[in-house]
């Protein structure tokens, strides 16, 4: 691993923050893991590979809504950024089918939608 220099930090601060490409984030704090986030993470990773979907599966910490864990946040082009709660294996697959493939939101599991314009 290369050392980080002051100059690198300088250039990072100046650069406009580039939008990440398509990603799915799974909350993997204790609250998420206790609710079954590991299985969701595994399912998503396997299915994305199997179907050859170009989307990064990431993990993150607690987003605050512990009572509706496991939480899965999805950001793909052409769709708003959506946080799904109470996600199990089946819902995870539904997210891939509906949200990512057919561009339809998965009803009844939505806990938050970031009001960003599609393609923005």
User: Which C-beta is closer to other proteins: that of 74 or that of 109?
Assistant: 109
Quick note: the x/- pattern for other proteins over 5-44, rule CB under 8 A, is xx--xx-xx---x-------x-x-xxx-x-----------
Say how many C-beta atoms besides its own lie within 10 A of residue 40's C-beta. Answer: 28
- Say if residues 82 and 105 touch (Cβ distance below 8 Å): yes
Smallest distance, other proteins to C-beta of residue 64, A: 4
Q: Is the peptide bond before 100 cis (omega within 30 degrees of 0)?
A: no
> Of residues 62, 88, 89, 94, which one binds other proteins by CB under 8 A?
62
Burial grade of 37 (CB within 10 A; 0-12, 13-18, 19 or more): buried
Q: How many CB atoms lie within 10 A of CB 23?
A: 14
**Binding test (CB under 8 A) with other proteins, winner from 68, 81, 88, 97:** 68
Residues within the interface to other proteins (CB under 8 A): 1-6, 9-10, 12-13, 17, 25, 27, 29-31, 33, 58-68, 71, 73, 78, 80, 85-86, 103-105, 107-113, 115, 117-119
């Amino acid at each position: 691993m290369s050392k980080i220099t002051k100059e690198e930090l300088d250039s990072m601060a100046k650069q406009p923050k580039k939008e990440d490409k398509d990603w799915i984030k799974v909350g993997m704090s204790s609250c998420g893991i206790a609710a079954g986030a590991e299985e969701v993470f595994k399912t998503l990773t396997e299915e994305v590979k199997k179907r050859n979907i170009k989307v990064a599966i990431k993990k993150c910490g607690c987003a605050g809504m512990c009572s509706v864990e496991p939480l899965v946040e999805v950001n793909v082009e052409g769709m708003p950024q959506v946080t799904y709660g109470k996600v199990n294996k089946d819902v995870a697959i539904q997210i891939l089918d509906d949200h990512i493939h057919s561009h339809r939101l998965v009803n009844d599991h939505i806990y938050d939608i970031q009001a960003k314009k599609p393609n923005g």
